[in-house]
Chain A
Amino acid sequence: KAGVTQTPRYLIKTRGQQVTLSCSPISGHRSVSWYQQTPGQGLQFLFEYFSETQRNKGNFPGRFSGRQFSNSRSEMNVSTLELGDSALYLCASSSGTSRYNEQFFGPGTRLTVL
């Protein structure tokens, strides 16, 4: 089975721009979660989508949004970028049917905001 893929792997943007990141989960997985990883804040949960519906949300401003398509692929959008949005954005997929489900992580998208 192919693993979780994220595109692009690296991205450089300037303040005020917006960005869209993409995540393709493992085939058959219906849950996709997004995380932000920074040296200062560590790994923080952004949101989780299950069957095209947002099922859970972290404590991030409304500039951070996401969606999930019928094929379970997910996109994350950040509008009006700020310097502090520079981070590694990780996507994880699971079957989403149990709290014991393992989450499989992608390699991440490294976003740099100048």
Chain B
Amino acid sequence: AQSVTQLDSHVSVSEGTPVLLRCNYSSSYSPSLFWYVQHPNKGLQLLLKYTSAATLVKGINGFEAEFKKSETSFHLTKPSAHMSDAAEYFCVVSPNFGNEKLTFGTGTRLTIIP
């Protein structure tokens, strides 16, 4: 069984300050982990993915995430928030056997304060 917990349902930061969106996972096996972003009235877009090659993963738009097995965490960070980062962010876990079933976290809504 696998699950993912996003620890904050809503995060507000000022423009230009760092962003931290927290995600903990549970998986019987070594998982694949993803972060997706959803802007209003849009589909989901992949920000980055962890595939066991490197624990620090860099994604698009300046986002990165660090896989910490000992803490079962995969937190998303960005050094400096931009107004266009305002969106809903989903942490996603996928099992390490061949199907494509993804388990989504409940999402974190990121608000950027001008």
Contact = CB atoms under 8 A, between A and B. Distances in A.
B100 A33 contact: yes
Interface string B90-105: 1000111111111111
Contacts of A55: 99-100
A103 B42 CA distance: 15
Interface residues of A, number: 28
Interface in A5-62: 31, 33, 35, 42-45, 48, 50, 55-56, 58
Of B43, B99, B100, B103, most A-chain CB atoms within 10 Å:
B100
Interface string B32-52: 101010000111111001010
A90 interface: yes
Main secondary structure of the interface of A (DSSP, over half): strand
A105 B43 contact: yes
Contact of B95 (A44, A45, A99): A99
A106 interface: yes
Interface of B: 32, 34, 36, 41-46, 49, 51, 90, 94-107
